[in-house]
């Protein structure tokens, strides 16, 4: 029967991309630039405390290509906190140079589709807890894209039986498991929150693995028949202590 599947939901997620106004940045003095960097590093320290306390997680990436310059990813217990973070960034001096670009709002989600976990109370298992409220890996690269399930008359994800959806996602999971240690994924649900139905955030040491996994999954029936994709954004990890170098002009 085409019935909804139960989801277990975790932290809220904000993918916040910014264009950096290099022209304006070059027009202020070195002292002003250093003050702006120091002030921003204090803000990052607050995020680090939240992460150490396992109350959220954050990552910053230098975006390759011109869709943005930086992509911030924040995970928090509530949407209120995500909005406060965005506003806190905008209130800093550096925020004047961080021009808001594309953003994506979603909530970490796991479904009860996985037959390997059937019978478990997924909400109670430490594995599920870690997946719903994860500390994001500080790996070298990330790739984010939104996606939806197709709703064509001859291929409609929302009209097929739950058992069939479970079978298709099981096959998908088996492909994914071959990338253990190479690709980590965070799947966020965004129905009712943003334009697409899911957000896919992938982490890897080697960006070639993004191309490989996404290509290989194109041949899984669940993707071939039922997946539609938005724009991809790829970035390189920016550690807090590298922010000064990233923004240095000489
Ligand atoms: C890194 C590898 C990897 C692994 C191990 C993995 C496993 C799994 C499992 C076991 C499950 C189902 C249970 C659950 O936990 O929800 C899912 C669920 C999902 N996935 Fe996935 N996925 C991966 C990776 C992975 C990728 C690369 C993509 C993008 C698809 C592509 O073609 O580019 C993706 C998408 C999704 C989505 C949109 C969902 C929710 C679909 C829905 O309709 O409900 N996913 N996924």
Q: Domain spanning 6-247: which CATH class is it, in words?
A: alpha beta
Catalytic residue among 104, 145, 179, 226: 145
Q: Residue 123: what pLDDT?
A: 55
Q: Is the CB of 222 under 6 A from ligand 1?
A: no
3-state secondary structure of 4: coil
DSSP 75-94: EES-HHHHHHHHHHHHHSTG
Predicted model pTM: 0.94
Q: Is the CB of 145 under 6 A from ligand 1?
A: no
- Which positions of the chain have pLDDT values less than 70? 1, 113-124
DSSP 111-131: ETT-GGGTTS-TTTSHHHHHH
Q: Residue 117: what pLDDT?
A: 56
Q: Residue 118: what pLDDT?
A: 47
Q: Residue 220: what pLDDT?
A: 98
Annotated binding site for Fe-coproporphyrin III: 131, 145-149, 172
Q: Catalytic residue at 127?
A: no
DSSP summary character for residue 1: -
What are the residue boundaries of the structural domains of the chain, listed by start?
Answer: 6-247
Q: Is the CB of 204 under 6 A from ligand 1?
A: no
* pLDDT tens-place string over residues 74-102: 999 999 999 999 999 999 999 999 999 99
């Amino acid at each position: 029967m085409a019935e909804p599947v139960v989801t277990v939901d975790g932290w809220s997620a904000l993918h916040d991309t910014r264009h950096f106004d290099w022209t304006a940045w070059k027009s202020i003095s070195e002292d002003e630039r250093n003050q702006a960097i120091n002030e921003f590093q204090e803000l990052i320290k607050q995020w680090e405390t939240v992460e150490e306390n396992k109350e959220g997680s954050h990552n910053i990436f230098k975006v390759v290509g011109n869709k943005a310059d930086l992509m911030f990813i924040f995970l928090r217990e509530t949407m209120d906190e995500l909005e406060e973070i965005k506003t806190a960034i905008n209130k800093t001096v550096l925020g004047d140079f961080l021009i808001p670009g594309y953003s994506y709002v979603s909530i970490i989600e796991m479904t009860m589709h996985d037959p390997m976990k059937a019978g478990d109370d997924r909400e109670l298992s430490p594995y599920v807890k870690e997946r719903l409220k994860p500390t994001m890996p500080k790996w070298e690269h990330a790739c984010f894209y939104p996606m939806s399930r197709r709703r064509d008359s001859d291929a409609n994800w929302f009209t097929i039986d739950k058992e069939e959806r479970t079978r298709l996602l099981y096959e998908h999971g088996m492909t994914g498991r071959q990338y253990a240690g190479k690709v980590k994924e965070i799947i966020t649900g965004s129905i009712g929150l943003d334009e697409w139905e899911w957000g896919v955030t992938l982490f890897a040491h080697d960006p070639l693995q993004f191309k490989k996994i996404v290509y290989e999954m194109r041949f899984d029936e669940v993707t071939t028949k039922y997946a539609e994709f938005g724009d991809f954004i790829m970035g390189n990890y920016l550690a807090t202590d590298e922010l000064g170098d990233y923004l240095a002009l000489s």
